């Protein structure tokens, strides 16, 4: 339930607010986590 509420809140933000939040989260990740996300994103294409 909390995840759904957080997702709805995130979706209601402006594009610039979402971009800022994602940048902050991404900056807190380890290099290994960043690499894993990059692999997932490349695989989506």
- The pLDDT of residue 44: 65
d(CA 17, CA 11): 10
- The pLDDT of residue 45: 54
Give tens-digit pLDDT for 1-45. 999 999 999 999 999 999 999 999 999 999 999 999 999 999 865
Q: Which residue has the tokens 């933000």?
A: 13
The total of structural domains in the chain comes to 1
- List alpha helices for the chain, DSSP H: 2-12, 15-27, 31-44
d(CA 31, CA 29): 7
- The pLDDT of residue 23: 96
- What's the predicted TM-score (pTM) here? 0.64
Give the domain range for residue 18: 2-44
- The pLDDT of residue 16: 97
């Amino acid at each position: 339930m909390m995840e759904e509420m957080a997702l709805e809140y995130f979706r209601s933000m402006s594009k610039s607010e979402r971009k800022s939040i994602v940048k902050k989260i991404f900056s807190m990740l380890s290099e290994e986590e960043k690499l894993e996300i990059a692999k997932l994103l490349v695989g989506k294409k």
